[in-house]
Amino acid sequence: MSTTVAEPESAPRQRRKQARPQELLEAALELFCEKGFAAARTDEVARRAGVSKGTLYLYYPSKEELFKAVVRHNLSSLIAEGQELVGQFDGSSSELLAKLLRTWWQRIGNTPAAGIHKIVLAEVRNFPELAQFYSDEVILPADRLFCGVVERGIARGEFRAMPAHEVATALMAPLIFMAVHRHSFGACPVHGSVDVEPERLLGTHLDLVLRGLERRG
Amino acid sequence: MSTTVAEPESAPRQRRKQARPQELLEAALELFCEKGFAAARTDEVARRAGVSKGTLYLYYPSKEELFKAVVRHNLSSLIAEGQELVGQFDGSSSELLAKLLRTWWQRIGNTPAAGIHKIVLAEVRNFPELAQFYSDEVILPADRLFCGVVERGIARGEFRAMPAHEVATALMAPLIFMAVHRHSFGACPVHGSVDVEPERLLGTHLDLVLRGLERRG
Amino acid sequence: MSTTVAEPESAPRQRRKQARPQELLEAALELFCEKGFAAARTDEVARRAGVSKGTLYLYYPSKEELFKAVVRHNLSSLIAEGQELVGQFDGSSSELLAKLLRTWWQRIGNTPAAGIHKIVLAEVRNFPELAQFYSDEVILPADRLFCGVVERGIARGEFRAMPAHEVATALMAPLIFMAVHRHSFGACPVHGSVDVEPERLLGTHLDLVLRGLERRG
Amino acid sequence: MSTTVAEPESAPRQRRKQARPQELLEAALELFCEKGFAAARTDEVARRAGVSKGTLYLYYPSKEELFKAVVRHNLSSLIAEGQELVGQFDGSSSELLAKLLRTWWQRIGNTPAAGIHKIVLAEVRNFPELAQFYSDEVILPADRLFCGVVERGIARGEFRAMPAHEVATALMAPLIFMAVHRHSFGACPVHGSVDVEPERLLGTHLDLVLRGLERRG
DNA sequence: CATGAATGAGACTTCATTCAT
DNA sequence: TATGAATGAAGTCTCATTCAT
| Mean pLDDT, 10 residues at a time, chain C of 217 residues | 42 59 94 93 96 96 94 81 88 95 91 90 89 88 93 96 96 95 91 85 96 85
DSSP result, A23-50? HHHHHHHHHHHHH-TTTS-HHHHHHHTT
Label residue A197 left, alpha or beta by phi (over 0 means left) and psi (-120 to 50 means alpha): beta
Report how far Cα A141 is from the mean position of its chain's Cα atoms: 13
Pairs from D133-138 (Cβ < 8 Å, separation ≥ 24)? D133/D68, D133/D71, D134/D71, D135/C185, D135/C190, D135/C192, D135/C193, D135/C194, D136/C192, D137/D71, D137/D72, D137/D75, D137/D76, D138/D71, D138/D75, D138/D76, D138/D79
- pLDDT of B7 above 70: no
Amino acid present at B42? T
Residue whose C-alpha is closest to residue C26's, from C6, C51, C1, C58: C51
Beta carbons of D165 and D65 less than 8 angstroms apart: no
pLDDT band at A185 (very low <50, low <70, confident <90, very high): very high
- pLDDT of D9 above 70: no
- Helix spans in B36-163 (H): 42-49, 53-59, 63-75, 78-88, 93-104, 112-123, 128-134, 140-155
Interface of B with A in 115-134 (CB under 8 A): 118-126, 128, 131-132, 134
Bridge partners, residue D159, by sequence: D214
- pLDDT of B137 above 90: no
| DSSP-based three-state secondary structure for C134 | helix
Give pLDDT tens digits for A48-81.
Answer: 999 999 999 999 999 999 999 999 999 888 888 8
Beta carbons of D28 and D55 less than 8 angstroms apart: no
Q: Residue C194: how many CA atoms within 13 Å on its side-chain side? A: 26
Q: Do A121 and B184 touch (CB under 8 A)?
A: yes
Beta carbons of A169 and A145 less than 8 angstroms apart: no
Distance CA B112, CA A10 (A): 60
How far away is chain C from the Cα of D31, in angstroms, using its nearest Cα? 12
* H or E element that contains C117: helix C112-123
Q: Which residues of B touch A174 (CB under 8 A)?
A: 169-170, 173-174
- pLDDT of A5 above 60: no
Whole-model pTM: value is 0.86
- pLDDT of B53 above 90: yes
Range in B123-127, B191-195, C155-159 with the lowest mean pLDDT: B191-195
More confident residue, D78 or D216: D78
Enter the DSSP assignment of A159: B
Beta carbons of A46 and A52 less than 8 angstroms apart: yes
How far away is chain D from the Cα of C85, in angstroms, using its nearest Cα? 23
Q: Which of B134, B178, B190, B210 to mutate to test the interface with A (most CBs of A within 10 A)?
A: B190
Give pLDDT tens digits for A6-39.
Answer: 334 333 444 466 778 999 999 999 999 999 999 9
CA dihedral C71, C76, C77, C82 (to 10 degrees): 110
Is B108 within 8 Å of chain A by CB? no
Q: Which residues of A touch B124 (CB under 8 A)?
A: 184-185, 188
What confidence score (pLDDT) does residue A57 get?
Answer: 97
Distance CA D121, CA C184 (A): 5
- pLDDT of D14 above 80: no
Q: Which of D37, D94, D125 to mutate to test the interface with C (most CBs of C within 10 A)?
A: D125
Q: Do A126 and B209 touch (CB under 8 A)?
A: no
What confidence score (pLDDT) does residue B79 get?
Answer: 74
Q: For chain B, how far is it from start to end, CA to CA, in angstroms? A: 79
Is D201 within 8 Å of chain C by CB? yes
Distance CA B28, CA C47 (A): 52
pLDDT band at B195 (very low <50, low <70, confident <90, very high): confident
CA of C123 to C1' of F11 (A): 19
Pairs from C161-167 (Cβ < 8 Å, separation ≥ 24)? C162/C213, C162/D204, C162/D207, C162/D208, C163/D200, C163/D204, C165/D194, C166/D196, C166/D197, C166/D200, C166/D201, C166/D203, C166/D204, C166/D205, C167/C213, C167/D204, C167/D208
How far away is chain A from the Cα of B32, in angstroms, using its nearest Cα? 11
What confidence score (pLDDT) does residue A17 get?
Answer: 67
Is A50 within 8 Å of chain B by CB? no
What confidence score (pLDDT) does residue C16 get?
Answer: 60
Bridge partners, residue B128, by sequence: none
- pLDDT of B76 above 80: no
Enter the DSSP assignment of A4: G
Cα dihedral sign, D166-D167-D170-D175:
negative
Which positions on strand F lie below 7 Å from a protein C-beta?
Answer: 1-21
Q: Do A120 and B184 touch (CB under 8 A)?
A: yes
Q: Do B187 and A125 touch (CB under 8 A)?
A: yes
Is A184 within 8 Å of chain B by CB? yes
- pLDDT of D197 above 80: yes
Distance CA A141, CA C162 (A): 87
CA of A93 to C1' of F10 (A): 62
Amino acid present at A216? R
Residue whose C-alpha is closest to residue C118's, from B80, A52, D184: D184
CA dihedral D169, D172, D173, D176 (to 10 degrees): -140
How far away is chain D from the Cα of C115, in angstroms, using its nearest Cα? 10
CA of B20 to C1' of E4 (A): 18
Selecting from D124, D204, D208 the residue whose C-beta is nearest the C-beta of C185 gives D124
Q: Which residues of D touch C163 (CB under 8 A)?
A: 200, 204
Give pLDDT tens digits for B13-45.
Answer: 445 667 778 999 999 999 999 999 999 999 999
The nucleotide whose C1' lies nearest the CA of B57 is F17
Q: State mean pLDDT over D20-26.
A: 93
Give pLDDT tens digits for D138-170.
Answer: 999 999 999 999 999 999 999 999 999 999 999
Is C41 within 8 Å of chain D by CB? no
pLDDT band at B136 (very low <50, low <70, confident <90, very high): confident
Dmax over CA atoms of chain C, in Å, equals 77
Is A40 within 8 Å of chain B by CB? no
